[in-house]
Amino acid sequence: MKTDNGQWPRWSHGVRPGASALLLAALISGCASYEGIEPEGKMVSLNRLSALQAVKDVTISSANWPDRQWWNALGDPHLEALIQEALADSPDMDVALARLRSANAAVGQAGAERLPTVDGSATLSRSRVSEVDDPQGQGNLYSTSRGLSSNFSYDVDLWGGHRAAWSAALGEARATEIDLHEAALTLSVNVARAYVQLAGDYALMDIARQQLERAQTIDNTNQQLQQAGLSDQSARLQSRSSVSTARQALESAEQAVRSDRISLGVLLGKGPDRGFGIERPRPLSPALLSLPSVVPAELVGRRPDVVAARWRVEAQTQQIKADKAQFYPNLNLSAMAGFSSRLGSYFFAEPAKSWSVSPALSLPIFEGGRLRANLDSTEADYDLAVAQYNQTVISALGTVADTITSVQSLDRQRQSLEKARDNAQQAFDLALERFQAGITNYLQVLSTQQQLLDAQQSLVSLNSQLVDTSIQLVQALGGGFHEGLDVPHASGGYPHAPNPQTTGRSPAPSDS
């Protein structure tokens, strides 16, 4: 800083370059520091997670990951249209899309911080000076001032803080985009499970009707026997009670079908009446009965919730870099150029021109602990993101192991029940033949029919449970999503995410 006569101030004569460097070092050493603040979270290694004992008896397939359109394996083409309708109209997808738009907007905001800003202003002022404000004491003076200027400002971002903040926003947006896949998977699974429930309840309703018909037949038979004097009133009272119980069971089964239809209508994003327009489902097959051989090695790249959790860890990593950059000095460049004049005819003349250039170096010295507290909070968020990732991975592997063992146990139970049903069918056929031959009475036929109906009812319930659990296995294995499809990661680390400007519903699981 020079004095008015162009000379350096006297105190500056003694400051030599070495002293200046020492002074600068002292300033830097006295500024805010993040020493001692480090994250503690560590991402779990798959090598530490073992499921060999849990799945030792499970059937393994070398190529049994779910397909993107996994629901086709259930065997009912109507389900495809219902799932696509839900993905197009459900408010659940609208919620996920709105969150993604918000995350994309945050990326735009963070990106704007890395760019220079330029703005312009134009002013026109007309004023009258009073006698009091006029130095000559005359007053009644009028003046007009005109101004036109442009301002430029640029944060040099010496330590990459703005870039790290932008990368953090990108990571969060990428995670939110994958949340959209997760929402689509959850919705499609819920629709499929509701459809399976509807199919099972339809079959149970058919059995309930047969049980009512059987009870009515027994009651009619007892009535005839009582009228013929071959039976007392107690048998008739028991058969009447059975008819009432069977009628109540049929009404309960019919209400279950109505409730299933209403639930489907809601899942499709429509009113309850939409469910009553759905055709009766066809008999359904399990979606998946075996486990891929590469679980758990590829599980972290095939479950959208796990992939999203990884991106959130990366986002917090970048945010820590952004917060640490706040502790270092930074350079801001600003400039102004314009015209200012009281005379309109001289507005663009040389005397009206004005400009300035103002480089500014900022250095945090004392912030009252704000920077350290902010960094500490961000690193706690990182630890939380790591813990949530670990929790998601461990839970995912446990869900896969539990679900696949349940699927294969239910499949074995189904085979046993099918044998029981076949035996009951043979017993009923034999009793019917004996009745037709006059060897036994019809009550014996009805008794064996009840055993057959009970076996059929148990088999329908178990088959519905098996198909439903197989759908849960599909969800546990990621529902056909895989990391390389939409979320490219560099080998051995996390790259900077591309800008996920997803605007439509293209990430639905049905897309390839």
Each residue's pLDDT tens digit, 141-186: 777 888 889 999 999 988 889 999 999 999 899 899 899 889 999 9
Strands 330-341 and 117-129: unpaired
Question: What is the per-residue pLDDT across 371-383, written as a single tens digit (0 to 9) for each?
Answer: 889 898 999 999 9
Q: Is the pLDDT of residue 51 over 50?
A: yes
Within 228-336, where are the H helices? 233-267, 299-302, 304-325
Strands 117-129 and 141-155: antiparallel
Q: Report residue 301 as tokens.
A: 């790249």
User: 494 versus 439: which is more confidently predicted?
Assistant: 439
Region 36-115+158-330+370-486: CATH code: 1.20.1600.10
Question: Residue range 205-225: average pLDDT?
Answer: 88
Question: What is the per-residue pLDDT across 292-301, written as a single tens digit (0 to 9) for each?
Answer: 877 777 787 8
pLDDT at 205: 96
Torsion over CA: 321, 326, 327, 332 (sign): positive
Phi and psi for 256 in degrees, rounded to 5? Answer: -60, -40
Within 356-503, where are the H helices? 370-436, 442-476, 483-486
Q: How far is it, in rounded angstroms, from Cα 439 to Cα 486?
A: 71
pTM here? 0.79
pLDDT tier at 509, thresholds 50, 70, 90: very low
pLDDT tier at 54, thresholds 50, 70, 90: low
Q: How far is it, in rounded angstroms, from Cα 68 to Cα 70?
A: 6
pLDDT at 371: 87
**Cis previous bond, 296, omega within 30:** yes
Cβ–Cβ < 8 Å for 507, 177 = yes
Q: Is the pLDDT of residue 388 over 80?
A: yes
Question: What is the per-residue pLDDT across 457-484, written as a single tens digit (0 to 9) for each?
Answer: 999 999 999 999 999 999 999 998 876 6
pLDDT at 39: 79
1, containing H or E segment: none
Q: How many CB atoms lie within 10 A of CB 427?
A: 16
